[in-house]
Amino acid sequence: MGEVVLTAAGLYVIVLLRAGGTYAVGRLAHAGARRSRFAERMSEPKFQRVERSIQRWGAPAVAVSFLTVGFQTAANFLAGTMRMPLPRYLPALFLGGAAWALVYATVGAGALKLLVRLFAGNTAAAVGVVAAVLLVVCGVVVYRRRRSTARAADDA
């Protein structure tokens, strides 16, 4: 029990610094973000979706973003670039960050312990699983890049 509390506290500090830093960078980049090379990235559908969510839902969208993968950084950065007031942003950061830390401290740590127990006696199986995961990730990356290149060629 004490191990989970200590892990959650450490993760909470990390997420507050990381997400708060992303928000701060967004605030600093407010004026130049849309005129920079980052503007192209901000026009991607993923960022547009996040921006619409933040405009519509504000702080609750930022808080819920901590329970997603890939949405969290964009939500915090866009909250900064859209100059979400700190009295609205900070409660979302504290609540969402706490939820994130608890999920990762309990579920994540539990999954890691299970994997260590599972593969402790069988190194070959662990190497095989890691290799399979890496192959799948590489396959997805290659597929997405080819699909992106094909789309660019079709648009041209």
Domain residue limits, the chain = 55-84, 97-155
Task: Give pLDDT tens digits for 106-115.
Answer: 887 777 787 7
Mean pLDDT of the chain: 84
pLDDT recorded at residue 144:
87
Report helix, strand or coil for 29.
Answer: coil
**Three-state DSSP class for 63?**
helix
At a CB cut-off of 8 Å and minimum separation 6, what does 42 contact? 33, 34, 51
Q: Collapse the DSSP code of 4 into the 3-class scheme (helix H, G, I; strand E, B; otherwise coil) and give the result.
A: helix
Q: Give pLDDT tens digits for 17-29.
A: 999 999 999 888 8
pLDDT at residue 69, as a whole number: 80
pTM for this structure? 0.63
pLDDT tens readout for residues 28-80: 887 676 677 777 777 778 777 877 777 777 888 889 989 888 788 888 998 89
